Structure 1
Amino acid sequence: MSKHLPLREAVLSWLEHAHHLSPHPHAITDEALTDLPEWEALEEAVSTAAPRDEHPDLYTKINGDRILNYRTLLGESGLGAATRLIAQGADVPESEVADSFVAFCAHPAPVPERWLLLNGDFPRGTRIRLGQYTLQTFTEDALRQVIPMPTVEGLKPGGLDLGLVADAPFLHIPEPDRKVSRCPTWFDFTGPRAETQHWQALLPLMLWDEELLRVESVFTVQRGRSFDLRPTAVPTTLHTYLDPQGRQNEAEVRETGTFHVPPTSAEALTAFCTAISAKIDAVMAGVTHKRNIVKRRARRLERAARHLLAAYQRTYHDNGVWPVETDELLLDHVIALEALLISPVDKDHKSIGRNIRSRAAALFLTPAEQNRTEALVKKAYEDRSTYVHGGVIADETEEKKLEALRTLRLLTLQIFLRWLVLTPSDTDDLTDLLDAAAEGPDHARVVEQPLRDFFTATPPRARPADIA
């Protein structure tokens, strides 16, 4: 810290001057603050402590010259907010503000990360690796270490209440090439929707439990630099409770939905997600493989997952979708099944529907579940054809269509899980194995025993009906 003592003293001097500023908002905007003579002294201290060749992120180019970016120094660091709070009479811990600003300027810029806020309820201390992602819950104190100038965040009017997202589940992944933006959106307009863009981390969680898990917001983080989650990006609800005197009170809390993982299931969830992520990684490693069947299998997995996620994220609760989207969501589920269960050698279009339902049925262990699966897939594929060819799926009430769509969603998730458990990552293709095993003695070796082994070692939340 002694190396940067002049910068710290310059910040304290700046904050001391803030006590004498006009409290009117128009007089203390970031742009207005740069017109003050004291700003030049602070800029000089910053440029000495953080030269542009070592900290280019603090600088911007104007008319060919690299100069300090006041929007970064005042806006992103939180110094501007601290200055305004002091000018308006708030009690601000100035020493802590100075230390935070020095760290902001003098430390190397952290790698940008992409964070997804999920609506589930996970045990405190959850930390699960999902390929390149990490699923993590943070305490309020841990979140304070992520945001710039945490001592000011709680004092700003309209700021994010960190208690609201304490212990909330976040999926995060480093993205070194991402441009940091201060304008978060529910999904990224510069690329695919968030749920499909991050399918490799979301899919294991979806396969763990049939309860719906939603992506509520997506944003960029540079730890200690930028934490762009806004209060409006956190869906909330009112919780009613009785105080010690028996009076009824209300408190705003984060809306968590129905995806709930109790502490007793934390170890099982970790084991399941680790196993499924490893299987996803093994298949996706074939993307660059020279053998066409391995490359195609990786593409089929990704496309199936994207369509499944597109339908899943638009299912707002267990039996609820927008009525105008019911048929489209059915189409997404059938496309996912086709991607998983169609063989590269299936050239006869007339046999595609038959092959899909027979292979789907072969993934189950009892005649009852096989017959049920074949009937459901047959009906879904017929409805898909009716929709695609311009017909109307008739003789069904809206209530029945929604119930059928829910049944198809749960079946597709189960087929997806079994496909991942059984599919080889080498040059063999699962469809060939299923065709050969469907009616013969190889079914126990190819399907039954591997599934029993997986569901015994790393079961999902609920054990399937056909696996005792």
Structure 2
Amino acid sequence: MSKHLPLRDAVLSWLEYAGSLSPKSHSIVMLMLQPHWEDVVMAVAAVAPRDEHPDLYAKVKGDWMLDHRTLLVESGLAEAAQLIAQGVSVPVSDVADSFVTFCTGQARVPERWLLLNATFPQRTRIALGRHTLQTFTADELRQTVPAPALNGLHPWSLDLDLIAGAPFLHVPDPSRTVTRRPTWFDITGPRAEAQHWQALLPLMLWDNELLRVDSVFTVQHGRRFDLHPPAVPTTIRVYPGSQGREEEVEVRDTGEFHVRPIHLSALTAFCTAITKKIDAITAGLTHTRRVPKLRARRLERAGRHVVAAYQRTYDDYGIWEVEADELYLDYVIALEALLISPDDGKDEGIASRIRSRAAALFLTPTERERTEALVRRAYDARSRYVHGDKIKEQSEHEKLEELRALRLLTLQIILRWLVLTPADTGDLAPLLDAAAQGTGREQHIDRPLHAFFATTSPRSRPADIVLT
């Protein structure tokens, strides 16, 4: 740390002058003109050469030079000077230490963070392929922002207590341009939740309760944290207050997807198993054989459409009326993607085969009959919608009940498809066709499903799975 003392001392001297400016005079140019700024720049150059810290430099008229905007704005120095000018008590020693770390530490790879409307136990950390599901304390979140000592000193500070303990899916994204604004709609590619279906799907398969993505943003530890308070859905809760009065508190809206501490180890085991199966199937994209490639693409298609349907379902029985009919498209596309065989061709019997194969995934006659009936109604609704006809007359409650049942069925089919799909180049469809005819059911369907649910069951065990 002693070799960084000249930089630390230069920052402290500069803050003394910059903080004395009028609050209205804190432009980048004015801050650069203050005494000791050149000392700061020279000290940074001495401890952070461009070959080791290229993120601190920019090309100016063909020459590489330290980027003053990066040093002032991204580090939090300009913010510290402005707060001092406003009369706020700023811990300048902590700010100087943070600036030294900002300049001398290696820049972290930007990450995409997905805020989920759910509740998980404290210290949750589950690997989901390249993604990690994690809950953070307020202090851990504070360490991700530049100049953490400044957080909470101004009215536009991030309310880290609001998102403390919230579940985030995060994944490295080296190509991401870090911004200061939430990036819910990404014009450079598909919607963010669809891009991350592989990490979301295992969680959705774990529990029947709805799981949605509330916000998507970019974090570069110690540099940028682009989540803004309006990107966090909140609700008002009423708590008993002093002297018998009730107190209203704004808290994060956590939805209905709650994982209790007692279930965390089972969830971790389930997610590990499902992620392994998803990774094995998606690896087929690089395979030389036709079936693994098609299977990988179809799983991706099914995952994207199911996640999209979830994102448009705002609670268990809640769907915007103008979008309700469109959800049949998402669910039927997901079913077709998984249950069509490369050898089926394009004949008239596709709908019948999908119904039969979907039903074959279930172990009791009652569940098979229910599945066939529900898939038949979904196909009929999908066809009517696509052809511009009116979907069967239903009350709003009946439609929501039907879409909920279809959502749960689709997830069950995805789960069972993942469990049963051969690990080699074989296709599941012929096995399902044979099982529908009473051949090979015990070996290819019943026994593998019983084995999976006996050791790696989701939170809600299906009605047709009876373990002895």
Quickly name the TM-score band, shorter chain normalised: over 0.9
What CA distance in whole angstroms lies between the structure 1 residues aligned with 2:312 and 2:294? Answer: 27
The residue number in structure 1 matching 2:229 is: 231
The residue number in structure 1 matching 2:273 is: 275
Per-residue deviation, residues 221-269 of structure 1 (Å, max 9, x unmatched): 1112222211111111122111354321122211101111111111111
Per-residue deviation, residues 104-144 of structure 1 (Å, max 9, x unmatched): 01111111111111110000010000011110001111112
The residue number in structure 2 matching 1:5 is: 5
What CA distance in whole angstroms lies between the structure 1 residues aligned with 2:381 and 2:29? Answer: 60
Is 2:21 the counterpart of 1:21?
Answer: yes
1:82–1:152 contact (8 Å) kept in structure 2? yes
Aligned with residue 291 of structure 1, among 289, 293, 296 = 289
What CA distance in whole angstroms lies between the structure 2 residues aligned with 1:425 and 1:459? Answer: 20
The residue number in structure 1 matching 2:314 is: 316
The residue number in structure 2 matching 1:353 is: 351
Secondary structure at 2:251 match in 1:
strand
The CA deviation at 1:178 is 2.3
Name which of structure 1's ranges 234-243 and 425-434 shifts more when overlaid on structure 2: 234-243
Is 2:452 the counterpart of 1:425?
Answer: no
The AA in structure 1 aligned to 2:215 is S
The AA in structure 1 aligned to 2:252 is R
The residue number in structure 2 matching 1:206 is: 204
2:119–2:167 contact (8 Å) kept in structure 1? yes
The CA deviation at 1:174 is 1.2
What CA distance in whole angstroms lies between the structure 2 residues aligned with 1:249 and 1:18? Answer: 42
1:186–1:216 contact (8 Å) kept in structure 2? no
Provide TM-score, normalisation by structure 2: 0.97
The residue number in structure 2 matching 1:241 is: 239
Aligned with residue 97 of structure 1, among 95, 108, 123 = 95
Secondary structure at 2:239 match in 1:
strand
Is 2:116 the counterpart of 1:118?
Answer: yes
Secondary structure at 2:177 match in 1:
coil
The residue number in structure 1 matching 2:65 is: 67
The CA deviation at 1:443 is 0.7
Name which of structure 1's ranges 365-374 and 52-61 shifts more when overlaid on structure 2: 52-61
What CA distance in whole angstroms lies between the structure 2 residues aligned with 1:381 and 1:415? Answer: 16
Per-residue deviation, residues 276-300 of structure 1 (Å, max 9, x unmatched): 1011011011110000101100000
The CA deviation at 1:348 is 4.1
The CA deviation at 1:37 is 4.1
Secondary structure at 1:411 match in 2:
helix
The CA deviation at 1:40 is 2.5
The CA deviation at 1:323 is 1.1
Provide TM-score, normalisation by structure 1: 0.97
Name which of structure 1's ranges 353-362 and 389-398 shifts more when overlaid on structure 2: 389-398
Aligned with residue 465 of structure 1, among 432, 443, 463 = 463
Aligned with residue 81 of structure 2, among 67, 80, 83 = 83
Q: Give the alignment's Cα RMSD to 1 decimal.
A: 1.4
Gaps of 5+ in 2: none
Is 2:168 the counterpart of 1:155?
Answer: no
1:269–1:460 contact (8 Å) kept in structure 2? yes
2:17–2:35 contact (8 Å) kept in structure 1? no
Gaps of 5+ in 1: none
The residue number in structure 2 matching 1:401 is: 399
1:121–1:168 contact (8 Å) kept in structure 2? yes
What CA distance in whole angstroms lies between the structure 2 residues aligned with 1:306 and 1:19? Answer: 51
The CA deviation at 1:189 is 2.2
The residue number in structure 1 matching 2:340 is: 342
The AA in structure 2 aligned to 1:394 is K
Secondary structure at 2:188 match in 1:
coil
What CA distance in whole angstroms lies between the structure 2 residues aligned with 1:459 and 1:363? Answer: 16
What CA distance in whole angstroms lies between the structure 2 residues aligned with 1:242 and 1:386? Answer: 52
Name which of structure 1's ranges 167-176 and 36-45 shifts more when overlaid on structure 2: 36-45
Secondary structure at 1:349 match in 2:
coil
1:237–1:254 contact (8 Å) kept in structure 2? yes
The residue number in structure 2 matching 1:454 is: 452
Secondary structure at 2:133 match in 1:
strand
Secondary structure at 1:297 match in 2:
helix
What CA distance in whole angstroms lies between the structure 1 residues aligned with 2:427 and 2:154? Answer: 58
Per-residue deviation, residues 433-457 of structure 1 (Å, max 9, x unmatched): 1111222241111111111111111
The AA in structure 1 aligned to 2:20 is H
The CA deviation at 1:89 is 1.0
1:250/1:350 Cα in 2 relative to 1: closer, same or farther (>3 Å)? Answer: same
1:294–1:425 contact (8 Å) kept in structure 2? no
The residue number in structure 2 matching 1:442 is: 440
Per-residue deviation, residues 316-338 of structure 1 (Å, max 9, x unmatched): 11111111111211111000000
1:10–1:42 contact (8 Å) kept in structure 2? yes
Name which of structure 1's ranges 83-92 and 65-74 shifts more when overlaid on structure 2: 65-74
The residue number in structure 2 matching 1:373 is: 371
What CA distance in whole angstroms lies between the structure 2 residues aligned with 1:245 and 1:397? Answer: 47
Per-residue deviation, residues 143-189 of structure 1 (Å, max 9, x unmatched): 12222211001212211111111110011111223222222222322
Aligned with residue 323 of structure 2, among 307, 322, 325 = 325
The AA in structure 1 aligned to 2:357 is R
1:187–1:217 contact (8 Å) kept in structure 2? no
